[in-house]
Amino acid sequence: MIKGTFFCVDAHTCGNPVRLVTSGHPDLQGRNMSEKRQDFLEHHDWIRQALMFEPRGHDMMSGAFLYPPCSDNADAAVLFIETSGCLPMCGHGTIGTVTAAIESGLLQPREPGKLTLDVPAGQIRIDYQQTGARVDWVRIYNVPAYLAHRDAILAVPGLGELRVDVAYGGNYYVIVDPQENFPGLRHWSAAEILRWSPIVRQIAREQLSCVHPDDATVQGVSHVLWTGDTITPGSDGANAVFYGDKAIDRSPCGTGTSARLAQLHARGRLQVGEQYTHESIIGSQFIGRIESVTRVGEFDAICPSIQGWARITGHNSITVDDSDPYALGFQV
């Protein structure tokens, strides 16, 4: 039966929405968040569809549920939801979730200003700064990120060839730097990014194998990251990240920034200890840093950190009932 009332703390992280669902959690089977993610997708996906798609959500909507931890050393676990499914990891989602949960008293850290969270992609650590009731910023020590494919050529009908890299930062990203057939993100409209991204992603999916060495359920290119000139003082780089079917991230994208750091490190352009301020399509900023290096399967990898901020926008009680023909939402 499709029926429920879901209390949500709505927020945004540097411009991109985060809906932290605080009631109506389904019981999930599995030993870790990767298995629980699969269980959610198989048995409870109607909740995601109802809360993410129009008319209750929109193309950019993303959210999260907090669960008890799966590991002894963790404070909590997070399941991410969005229009495309359940991401293994979501950076802006984590920053929004931690901010909303701490400010609302839903998470009690064992050590002030620090959290350890189980997520489907593995385990992440969090530092955050709080002034009074407000969380000023959140820093994520993300799962290891690595360059999976370098200088791949994609033949895009109607556009021409693109030379791209593919990097993992919690999701797999095609990274497109300015070149002959792509003048850079500030020279393309949002409509052009939305037009070409799904085609580029599809071609990359067919041509480039991406399977995470430690978890085969994490596989396939899901996002396209276009780079270009910056518009905000202090930024080192800019991106527009395409996800889902019609979304461009309004935040600088946490997993996308992690993937970008891995690409820049593999290409010798960013070293351990160096910071990279990454700006989004609207000019909002995350601070990325390469903390250390490690290995993921046969790949050289980095351990990235990402810092950003979020604000609560409201409290929402969302009703879903199958007497509504659009209970599961729709896409146009």
The residues of the shown chain that bind ligand PYC, judged by CB under 6 A, are 87, 90-92, 243, 249, 251, 253-255
From the list 227, 212, 207, the residue with the least C-alpha distance to 171 is 212
Min separation Cβ 191 and ligand PYC, Å: 19
Nearer to ligand PYC, 182 or 242 (CB): 242
Q: What is the CA radius of gyration of the chain?
A: 19
What is the DSSP secondary structure assignment for residue 119, as one 8-state letter? E
What is the SS3 string spanning 91-109?
A: HHHHHHHHHHHHHCCCCCC
The H or E element containing residue 207 is helix 190-207
- d(CA 202, CA 168) in angstroms, rounded, equals 17
Nearer to ligand PYC, 46 or 243 (CB): 243
Phi and psi, residue 174, nearest 5°: -80, 125
Residue among 14, 70, 253, 303 flagged as catalytic: 253
Min separation Cβ 92 and ligand PYC, Å: 3
Min separation Cβ 155 and ligand PYC, Å: 27
> In this structure, what token pair is assigned to residue 85?
């499914």
Nearer to ligand PYC, 22 or 255 (CB): 255
**Beta-strand relationship, 145-156 and 299-308:** antiparallel
Nearer to ligand PYC, 244 or 329 (CB): 244
Nearer to ligand PYC, 22 or 171 (CB): 171
Question: Which residue blocks in 44-108 are alpha helix, DSSP H?
Answer: 45-52, 91-103
Residue among 8, 70, 86, 90 flagged as catalytic: 90
Min separation Cβ 29 and ligand PYC, Å: 25
- d(CA 110, CA 142) in angstroms, rounded, equals 20
Active site annotation includes 253: yes
The H or E element containing residue 263 is helix 254-266
Nearer to ligand PYC, 17 or 329 (CB): 17
What counts of helices (H) and strands (E) characterise the chain? Answer: 5, 19
- d(CA 219, CA 37) in angstroms, rounded, equals 14
Min separation Cβ 255 and ligand PYC, Å: 3
Min separation Cβ 321 and ligand PYC, Å: 29
C-alpha pair distances (Å), 312 with each of 20, 64, 170, 279, 328: 10, 14, 25, 21, 25
Residues recognised as catalytic: 90, 253
